[in-house]
Amino acid sequence: MNRIGVIGAGTMGSGIAQVAAQAGFEIILQDLSDALVQKGVEKIEKSLAKSVEKGRLISEEKERILRRIHITTKMEGLRDAEMIVEAVFEDLELKAGLFKQLDGLCSPETILASNTSTLSITRMAAGVARSGRFLGTHFFNPVPVMRLAEVIPGLQSSQETVEEGIEFIKRIKKVPIVAKDCPGFLVNRIVMPYAGEAMLAAQEGAASPTEIDEAMKAAGFPMGPLALNDMVGIDVGVHTFPPMHEGYGERFPVPVLFVKLLEAGRLGLKSGKGIYVNGLVDDEFLEIIKKIQSESGIRRTEFSADRLILRQVNEAVWCLQEKIASAEDIDRAMVLGTGFPVDEKGMGGPLHWADERGLDWVLDRLNHYKDSLGSRFWPHFLLKQYVAAGYLGKKVRKGFFEY
């Protein structure tokens, strides 16, 4: 494979185009207008310039990388690509329509891939004749920095397609982890309860946004979850939480704060205003919070870093039970995709975190939060089984892992 098409020159699309061009692929970057593609190319130039500044790249190489990126506003421009990664807005109809068009346009051998955060790969594949040549390739923001890319086979994906997808991810110097096709796949399924719980804690006034983010940084996370929501985009949150709620019900409530911020035009870093404005909370944000509290009657709930991490742990147990990935891959994916803290031996991830604290303690804390905050904390049955078996984690040298 040499020619990769990327549809959508936004944050994710431009990141994917950049890393693939850096690995030597010829890129065709497509978006609806010249202005949008140019904006994407500017992002790539800026990111590469940062690497030149840091001495990681020489400027001649930067120019060579940029010359490998060809731009187009027409779908026909993608005709000769051997693999096409779509990274447009999280809208199933929109994505399905694009893939239908590509199906008629490209060689039947061309692999079609979606970089969706939460939508069903199997459903998208069902709309194209080449469903065996379709899969999910899910990247993490910021794409040039985060080392993981999930590979998600749909029910129809051929083994050969999955292997080519894995090979592509390796060639662009990312670590591929294969995850089953379910809403949010592996990493978003585990990180979204965490990012969502931070929004619930903020809207309830459990702590201020700064206190929440500082607490998580003190717990070892590379950035606070609210700053993360601003970086990923409040609009992305608004479009990714409903499919998770649809998939998993009450365990994935949609935090109303996302919706209210979007209504106020606060999209996060991309609009200069989200939860934070230049790293601080402003009066408009405080007004939004006040209004949510007066409408819901819920305020000043309990806050601790554990409240947020336990939601990740419980969802990781769901993923383990459903064999979305192995325990090792679940933890590795969370470290490489989101910077989940690791210990001095490089061990980390939600399942290791639970083993470290003791699964009996984890069960007890989940029960506590279930009683005080609601059923989204309901401990998974598998966790109860581990505790019943005496597999309590590191202290007895057996939990989710053996020590």
Nearer to ligand CAA, 17 or 363 (CB): 17
DSSP structure string for 362-400: HHHHHHHHHHHH-GGGPPPHHHHHHHHHT--BGGGTBSS
206-235 positions binding ligand CAA, by CB under 6 A: 222-223, 228, 232
Nearer to ligand CAA, 19 or 373 (CB): 19
Q: Which residues contact 370 (CB under 8 A, 6 or more apart)?
A: 377, 378, 379
Question: Rounded CA gap, 96 and 347, in Å?
Answer: 39
- Among the candidate windows 46-54, 126-134, 212-220, 367-375, which touches ligand CAA by CB under 6 A? 46-54
- The answer to whether residue 335 forms part of the interface with ligand CAA (CB under 6 A) is no
- The answer to whether residue 312 forms part of the interface with ligand CAA (CB under 6 A) is no
Q: Which of 70, 138, 352, 368 is catalytic?
A: 138
Nearer to ligand CAA, 212 or 292 (CB): 212
Q: Which residues contact 317 (CB under 8 A, 6 or more apart)?
A: 351, 380, 382, 383
Q: Rule CB under 6 A: choose which of 42, 50, 282, 295 binds ligand CAA.
A: 50
Question: Rounded CA gap, 136 and 268, in Å?
Answer: 26
- Among the candidate windows 65-73, 276-284, 334-342, 360-368, which touches ligand CAA by CB under 6 A? 334-342
User: Cα torsion for 211, 213, 214, 218, to the nearest 10°?
Assistant: 130
- Among the candidate windows 137-145, 264-272, 308-316, 355-363, which touches ligand CAA by CB under 6 A? 137-145
- The answer to whether residue 188 forms part of the interface with ligand CAA (CB under 6 A) is yes
Told to judge if 245 belongs to the known catalytic residues of this protein, a careful annotator would answer no
Nearer to ligand CAA, 217 or 384 (CB): 217
- The answer to whether residue 146 forms part of the interface with ligand CAA (CB under 6 A) is yes
Q: Rule CB under 6 A: choose which of 99, 134, 140, 248 binds ligand CAA.
A: 140
Question: Rounded CA gap, 158 and 173, in Å?
Answer: 23
- The answer to whether residue 191 forms part of the interface with ligand CAA (CB under 6 A) is yes
Nearer to ligand CAA, 82 or 150 (CB): 150
- We find the least distance from the C-beta atom of residue 236 to ligand CAA, in angstroms, to be 6
- The answer to whether residue 47 forms part of the interface with ligand CAA (CB under 6 A) is yes
* Per-residue binder mask for ligand CAA (CB under 6 A), 336-355, x = binder: -xxx----------------
Edge to edge, the sheet with strand 83-86 lists: 69-72, 26-30, 3-7, 83-86, 111-114, 134-139, 148-153, 175-178
Q: Rule CB under 6 A: choose which of 178, 236, 238, 313 binds ligand CAA.
A: 236
- The answer to whether residue 141 forms part of the interface with ligand CAA (CB under 6 A) is yes
- We find the least distance from the C-beta atom of residue 144 to ligand CAA, in angstroms, to be 4
Q: Which residues contact 178 (CB under 8 A, 6 or more apart)?
A: 150, 151, 152, 153, 162, 166, 325, 329
Nearer to ligand CAA, 261 or 392 (CB): 261
- Among the candidate windows 138-146, 201-209, 242-250, 371-379, which touches ligand CAA by CB under 6 A? 138-146
What single letter denotes the amino acid at residue 187? V
Nearer to ligand CAA, 184 or 393 (CB): 184
- Among the candidate windows 33-41, 134-142, 313-321, 368-376, which touches ligand CAA by CB under 6 A? 134-142
Nearer to ligand CAA, 146 or 212 (CB): 146
Do 337 and 140 form a contact (C-beta atoms < 8 A)? Answer: yes
Query: Phi, psi (5° rounding) for residue 240?
Result: -95, -25
Whether the bond into 153 is cis, omega within 30 of 0: no
Q: How far is CA 338 from CA 95, 162, 224, 292, 341, in A?
A: 25, 23, 11, 29, 9
Question: Rounded CA gap, 257 and 244, in Å?
Answer: 16
Do 355 and 393 form a contact (C-beta atoms < 8 A)? Answer: yes
Q: What is the 3-state secondary structure (H, E, C) of 226-247?
A: HHHHHHHCHHHHHHHHHHHHHH
- We find the least distance from the C-beta atom of residue 381 to ligand CAA, in angstroms, to be 28
DSSP 8-class letter at 113: E
Q: Which residues contact 273 (CB under 8 A, 6 or more apart)?
A: 265, 266, 267, 282
What single letter denotes the amino acid at residue 354? A
- The answer to whether residue 55 forms part of the interface with ligand CAA (CB under 6 A) is no
Residues marked active site are found at 138
Binding site for ligand CAA (CB under 6 A): 47, 50, 54, 117, 140-142, 144-146, 188, 191, 222-223, 228, 232, 236, 337-339
